[in-house]
Structure 1
Amino acid sequence: MKQAPPAPEAFWVRYGWLLAAVWIIFLIYPINALATSGVDAPRKIVGFGLIGVFAAIYLIAFYRYSGHMGREPNGMVVLHFALLIAVALAGVPLLGVNTLSFGPFIISFSAYLMSARWMWWTSALTFGTAVAVAVVGNLLSELLFLICLLLVLIIANAVNATLIRRSIAADALHQNYTILSEQERMARDVHDVLGHSLTAVSLKAELAERLLDADVEKAREELRQIRALTQEALDSIRTTVGGLRRTTLQEELRSVRAALQDAGVAAVVTGDAESLDPVRSRALSWVLRESVTNVLRHAHATTCWIHISPDALSIEDDGDSLAGHHEGHGMRGMRERARMAGANCEIGASEHGGTRVGLQWG
């Protein structure tokens, strides 16, 4: 099976906290305000301690929970957010209006670690508080830079957070599509393997049943071949599920000729299967398997013509045509395999009266 693609938020999980750490430089404003204030040394120590605790909570939260970007916040994220608010409020008696310097960190926390709803509410409340303090306290000139910084940060965070969320959603959608494609591939592989093998087993079982009264030794030989076919089918299923199956056209050609012979259908093969490159050989082998399985199941044919060339494959029969029949899973699978291999698959009427399946490159 193919290795699962990396998680869409892998980059943010690994390096998001480093991007957050860059903004720690803005804590220079409350540090400078506290250092130049007239409070005594013990209170300054407490104030510096609160700033350090604030920075630690901020960085630890980004380090641990960056992978929550684009999701509803869990309890631990909300707890860290509440601690940030509590530490900021505890600094009001020491920092005064400079407590608003914690605003950019609180806004960024809500933008990147919480949902869009939290981001907008937090941004609005923080910005509104800063404007209110500036107007009421007549501190517009002192806080103008911070207010402008908060406004720019709100816009930048909104844009970045929206882009990141959309990118994560797009990557998640692509990952789901990859998983569905892999599941469809496995379904086609299992269908092709079991369809052919069970058809051959059914034919041999019927032949063995007819031979029981006439030729016991031949019936026993058919039963031995049935056992071998079932074992081969089991092996094929295991390798198919593991994504390791690499059937070549030569191998498949030997298998389908034997199956046609057991069913009493003459096989006319032209062309050289060994001259094909591995990629085309594998694609052709699956189409050959499915086509011959359909001949054995539905066509009631007496002859099957198989023509192989370096850039094409055709399988025709003289049995029942497809007129009036809907295209089933097997035919859709053949078209899909051809498309994935860069070829075109055409299914229609044969000049021999039955059905023709043609695979063509170029």
Structure 2
Amino acid sequence: MRTDEAPAWGAWARGGEEAPVARPLTPRAIHRAAVESGGLPFALPPVIFIAIPIVFAWIGTPGPGAALVTVMMLVYGLLFVYCTGIALYPHPVRLAWFGVCTALLLALIPILGQNVLYMVMFQAMTHVLLLPWRWAGPTMIAMSLMVFVIALVLGIYVAAGLAGMGMLMSWGFGYGIRQQVLQEELDAAEERNAVLAVAAERERIGRDLHDLVGHSLTSLTISAQLARRLLETDPDAAREQLEHIEATVRQALSDVRATASGMQHVRAATEIASARTVLATVGIQAEVPTALPPLPDDRAELFGYVIREGVTNMVRHSRATRATITVDEESVTVADDGDGIPADTARSGLTGLEARVAIAGGHLEIASDDHGTRLTATMGEKA
């Protein structure tokens, strides 16, 4: 379980030099970090495998040497368990912890000999826990393959199996962390976009209210002053000014309502701006319109929903590198070069979008295969 004070996994997986929150390097702080990371319960069960080299040490040469191996292996097991907490510390601390773990295993080679190969799974996990992913992946695979080959040559097939299993488990664990990192980045981008959208909407409303209400109030002031002067000398002219004041107030009220209600609707332009930021954050190169054709309000809203759903699916499922959004007066298309929508993925969002487009008198076309996905909503005669 992570608390609000626990830094995100992304801080170390991206290879950052500093953790978001400074922590003292004390046993209590390390234990607390391990608990906050949520990985401590998963790191404890594998420690039982350190019994393998300990047993071999006592079978081979019982005595002080075996006792030393036992102590060193227990220390290594403790270091391994708390790698989950050290993973939340700054980059230099993680490297130092990784160095101590590696040095301890190397020191066991003269005592354990070939039996040290049984520790490959632990060392593979320390790679993905303590090193930035861009380093951990290649070094972990190289180390695991080397141990696998050596174990096969020496005929230690259990160690070879542990090397293969450790490589697969470590890769899966590291990949899962990377997905969490990407999700954290996407959530942060969406949060920033929401804040920017609110700020932009406030500016728009303020600008529109200034233009609309400012002009109306100026006109009302002038008409009221003129009506007051004409009230006794020319009642008919004063009545005309009062009627003009009433009409102006009604129109201003209508304009204010329209301006205020505008922030409750999705718009194609705002969704395109949001898509550009979100796609760039997750590493997808986006080609989007720099200007839109004139669109009625209902169509701009509908196209905005199409763009939002297409970009959401693209970020979640596509693994794309390029995306294209095109808009004309009759249609909108969102396309990518990814893997397509997985067959087992629920399409409730697309189903709802298809119904929305159909109600508006259009047609939604979904084309998805292993070369990419294309989402097209067509209105009017093209539908």
After TM superposition, the score normalised by the length of structure 2 is: 0.49
AA aligned opposite 1:33: F
Q: Are 1:79 and 2:96 counterparts?
A: yes
The structure 2 residue matched to 1:335, chosen from 290, 301, 309, is: 301
Stretches of structure 2 that go unaligned for 5 or more consecutive residues are 11-33, 230-243, 263-291, 309-352, 361-383
Structure 1 pair 333–113 and aligned structure 2 pair: CA distance change class (3 A): farther
Structure 1 pair 34–24 and aligned structure 2 pair: CA distance change class (3 A): same
TM-superposed deviation, 1:84: 0.7
Question: Which residue of structure 2 aligns with residue 180 of structure 1?
Answer: 193
Question: Which residue of structure 1 aligns with residue 55 of structure 2?
Answer: 32
Question: Which residue of structure 1 aligns with residue 332 of structure 2?
Answer: none
Mapping for residues 188-227 of structure 1, pairs under 5 Å: 188-197=201-210, 199-205=212-218, 207-208=220-221
Tell which deviates more after alignment, 100-109 or 261-270: 261-270
Question: Which residue of structure 2 aligns with residue 264 of structure 1?
Answer: 248
Mapping for residues 164-179 of structure 1, pairs under 5 Å: 164-179=177-192
TM-superposed deviation, 1:190: 4.0
What SS class does the counterpart of residue 248 from structure 2 fall into? coil
TM-superposed deviation, 1:161: 2.4
Structure 1 pair 17–263 and aligned structure 2 pair: CA distance change class (3 A): farther
Residues 320-347 of structure 1: per-residue CA shift (max 9 Å, x gap): xxxxx9659x96998389969x99999x
The structure 1 residue matched to 2:76, chosen from 49, 54, 60, is: 54
User: In the aligned structure 1, how far is the partner of 2:162 from the partner of 2:227?
Assistant: 96
TM-superposed deviation, 1:184: 1.4
User: In the aligned structure 1, how far is the partner of 2:8 from the partner of 2:103?
Assistant: 33
Stretches of structure 1 that go unaligned for 5 or more consecutive residues are 217-259, 271-284, 292-324, 347-362
- Work out which of the two has the higher radius of gyration on C-alpha atoms and give 1 or 2: 1
Mapping for residues 1-362 of structure 1, pairs under 5 Å: 9=9, 14-41=37-64, 43-65=65-87, 74-114=91-131, 115-129=133-147, 131-132=149-150, 135=153, 139-140=154-155, 143-197=156-210, 199-205=212-218, 207-208=220-221, 261=245, 264=248, 266=250, 287=258, 289=260, 327=294, 335=301
TM-superposed deviation, 1:50: 1.3
User: In the aligned structure 2, how far is the partner of 1:207 from the partner of 1:64?
Assistant: 69
Question: Which residue of structure 1 aligns with residue 26 of structure 2?
Answer: none
What SS class does the counterpart of residue 91 from structure 1 fall into? helix
User: In the aligned structure 2, how far is the partner of 1:200 from the partner of 1:267?
Assistant: 10
Whether the 8 Å CA contact 1:111–1:118 is kept in 2: the answer is yes
Residues 200-249 of structure 1: per-residue CA shift (max 9 Å, x gap): 23432455467779969xxxxxxxxxxxxxxxxxxxxxxxxxxxxxxxxx
Structure 1 pair 147–205 and aligned structure 2 pair: CA distance change class (3 A): same
Structure 1 pair 175–332 and aligned structure 2 pair: CA distance change class (3 A): farther
User: In the aligned structure 2, how far is the partner of 1:326 from the partner of 1:101?
Assistant: 66
Provide the aligned C-alpha RMSD in A: 4.7
Identity %: 13
Whether the 8 Å CA contact 1:77–1:113 is kept in 2: the answer is yes
User: In the aligned structure 2, how far is the partner of 1:333 from the partner of 1:193?
Assistant: 25
After TM superposition, the score normalised by the length of structure 1 is: 0.52
Residues 19-44 of structure 1: per-residue CA shift (max 9 Å, x gap): 12221111111221223332533x43
TM-superposed deviation, 1:82: 1.0
Structure 1 pair 33–338 and aligned structure 2 pair: CA distance change class (3 A): closer
AA aligned opposite 1:181: A
What SS class does the counterpart of residue 38 from structure 2 fall into? helix
Tell which deviates more after alignment, 178-187 or 206-215: 206-215
Count of residue correspondences = 239
User: In the aligned structure 1, how far is the partner of 2:92 from the partner of 2:252?
Assistant: 70
